[in-house]
Chain A
């Protein structure tokens, strides 16, 4: 990041633009959920928003390699956590007497 006043003012414009995009995405999330509730679309928009925050606001687009090294492991294990529930899904508790639907 260059620290010249011109560059800073340019960054400022960029941040506002991203801010507006994020606000727009939020409205979109609510509208989509209202029209056609879909977990995939909802989480998809959330991921795009989170990506924008991380890449632009948290300057990940312009970071040193050490940070990426730290984050790659974190992301890997955090995503791994989300699949733990599969263990229960594929080995469920069986209760034959309960009502099925």
Chain B
């Protein structure tokens, strides 16, 4: 089918068709991004207020954003230059400039990839008093000891907890009932597995069903007898009387066994990353399949550990004087007992660090001539935080203004130069007891609305860069045939691709100051 007006303008619009098409498309794109920018405004203006949620500031690297802005602007110039080369009927030069555009897009996306990767490795912990610490090298290993009692939700059980049993897996005995003295009556020892639980479920359900049917039969006959006696006006026994009220119910699967209580033949311990659990309490733990284990948290894993913190945000802290009484100060500088115990670095948490390639801090600590003393580092971190706070207050005082609340209690604690010009840098660990961890996460959309809108906006923009670059690459690689046939048509196609590319640039022009600078 011949598409009309690819080169010549349509008489009524005065434009060739693709141009009308791309502008309509771009108009819809403006509304799409407009909606997201509007959401950004809403979230940003809604933060820092009554809701105890504060907008993270200065968390993106301006350098990355700046370089990416320059790259996109350059690529926009390259696109128009490439298009003009086509108009000059010079395909080879067009191809050269177009490939430069695609290279720019590739650099932009690689940069973005680095930025995203850094966020995925960066963690935040919200403490129970709403203080926030951020840093690297998380260890959320949790260990429960002295476990004997296990309760299983029969329908959901998937045997997950067995994977985390340390050492030899014990055999279990089912608690069948309790005797007159309240002691449990135990079944035979079993090797616990999903299949075994299904077998027990089937057996138990079969028994329950038989019991139920037998009771039904008994009651049915009693009821019949009672009714017969009633009709004859004869007295009926108490048993028969209760049978009269009895409703015969057929067996339903819901009447089957729901929970199994098991006792291990010997005590065992489990070690697992907290994020894989559903709930954890000081004396019990619940897996996602509702399996519940009774035991105590090991002294080796009393809390959530961050190897090196880099920011403390006390803006939402529930205290009159967060700068002195926040829980952060209480737990800062504590080392993980599990980590200090395993000097070979074979704990589960350490493996996690290796997986994310994080050894910067250890390296730094080794490089320093003084040995790494966590308490000393914590003192330095506090000094840096308070020093930066003083700086903000002094600056505001100099201008005879009140310091902005948001700027006084949220600081990076990596580096600070004091009045004597001495540079302080800190690499302090923190160990927050499980009870005082409100939530923790890496910097993905679930951490807060800032990252939610950041990933949505930049992710959608990144997809536009990728798809735009693919289209432009297609023109550069496969455009020669059309160019030889009809250079004007080819130039129009490139113009349409170029318009899309400029739009992508235009969106970034707003994203850069909004996300990186404000």
**Interface hits, A10-60 → B, CB 8 Å:** 11-12, 15-16, 18-19, 22-23, 26, 29-30, 33, 37, 39, 42-43, 45-46, 49-50, 53-54, 57-58
Q: Is the CB of B42 within 8 A of A15?
A: no
Q: Report if A89-B45 is in contact (Cβ < 8 Å); known contacts: A42-B513, A67-B23, A74-B30.
A: yes
Chain B residues lying within 8 Å of A3, measured Cβ to Cβ, are 87
A11 contacts which chain B residues (CB < 8 A)?
84
Cα–Cα distance between A50 and B505 once the two chains are bound (Å): 8
Chain B interface size, as a band, is 35 or more
Least CB distance from B401 to A in Å reads 14
B:1-48 near A, CB below 8 Å: 13-15, 19-20, 23-24, 27, 30-31, 34-35, 37-38, 41-42, 45-46
Instruction: Tell me, yes or no, whether A61 is within 8 Å of chain B by CB.
Output: no
Cβ A45 vs Cβ B513 within 8 A: yes
- How many chain A residues sit at the interface, stated as a range, is 35 or more
B283 within 8 Å of A (CB atoms): no
Instruction: Report yes or no: A8 in contact with B84, Cβ–Cβ below 8 A.
Output: yes
- The reply to whether A53 and B50 contact each other, CB–CB distance below 8 Å, is no
CA–CA, A15 and B37, complex, Å? 29
How far does the Cβ of B420 sit from chain A's closest Cβ, in whole Å? 25
Would you call B60 an interface residue if the criterion is a C-beta within 8 Å of the partner chain's C-beta atoms? no
Cβ contacts under 8 Å, A43 to chain B: 510, 513-514
User: Interface 1/0s, chain A 69-101, versus B by CB < 8 A?
Assistant: 011011101100110110011001111001111
| Chain B contacts for A53, CB-based, 8 A | 76, 502, 505-506, 509
Residues B513 and A33 in contact, CB atoms below 8 Å apart = yes
Shortest distance from the beta carbon of B313 to any chain A beta carbon, whole Å: 14
Do A64 and B31 have beta carbons less than 8 Å apart? no
Q: Does B436 contact A (CB under 8 A)?
A: no
Task: Decide yes or no whether B246 CB sits under 8 A from chain A.
Answer: no
A46 with B513: CB separation less than 8 A: yes
CB-contact partner of B34 in A18, A29, A81, under 8 A: A81
**With A and B bound together, what is the CA distance between A49 and B45 in angstroms?**
25
B216 at interface by CB-CB < 8 Å: no
The verdict on A71 contacting B27 (CB below 8 Å), with A58-B502, A81-B38 known, is yes
Which of B67-75, B138-146, B304-312, B425-433 participates in binding chain A?
A: B67-75
State the CA gap A99–B30 with chains docked (Å).
Answer: 39
Minimal Cβ-Cβ distance residue in B for A83: B38
Distance (whole angstroms) from the CB of A99 to the closest CB of chain B = 7
- How close is B267's CB to chain A, nearest CB, in angstroms? 46
Shortest distance in angstroms between B58's beta carbon and chain A's nearest beta carbon?
A: 10
Please tell me if the beta carbons of B24 and A101 are within 8 angstroms of each other in the complex: no
17 additional A-B pairs beyond A42-B513, A84-B42, beta carbons within 8 Å, are: A16-B77, A18-B77, A30-B66, A57-B80, A58-B499, A64-B14, A64-B15, A67-B20, A73-B27, A74-B27, A77-B31, A78-B34, A81-B35, A89-B45, A93-B51, A98-B50, A98-B52
